[in-house]
Amino acid sequence: MSSSHRARPRHLASSPFKPEPEQVIEEYVVDDRVSHDSHGLGRVTHVDRVCVTVDFGDRSVRVPSPFAKMSKL
């Protein structure tokens, strides 16, 4: 069984490079107002473990996690 999450490499304290920052994935609930870079303003209608469904007025779109182009208003 494979996981969709990538394992983070171990960061050594003696390394001259900074560790990659933790990716923060926003959590949405039904009726949240959102803004999407491609689709515009919308309202969350369904929340799933790996995606959310957003009603943008003329269409409903399933947006997969990590929601890179979408932000909560």
Whether 55 is in a domain gets the answer yes
Q: Binning pLDDT at 50, 70 and 90, where does residue 18 land?
A: confident
* Domain tally, the chain: 1
Question: Can you give the pTM of this predicted structure?
Answer: 0.70
C-alpha closest to that of 52 among 68, 35, 42, 64: 64
Please check the confidence at residue 4 and state whether its pLDDT lies above 60.
no
What are 25-57's pLDDT values in tens digits?
A: 889 999 999 999 999 999 999 999 899 999 999
Instruction: State the amino acid at position 6 in one-letter form.
Output: R
CA 14 from centre of chain: 32
Whether 59 is in a domain gets the answer yes
User: Could you tell me where the DSSP H helices lie in 1-73?
Assistant: none
Please check the confidence at residue 23 and state whether its pLDDT lies above 60.
yes
Whether 15 is in a domain gets the answer no
Whether 42 is in a domain gets the answer yes
Boundaries of domain holding 68: 33-72
Whether 56 is in a domain gets the answer yes
CA distances from 35 to 5, 23, 26, 31, 63 (A): 25, 20, 13, 13, 12
Q: What is the mean pLDDT of residues 7-24?
A: 80
Whether 65 is in a domain gets the answer yes
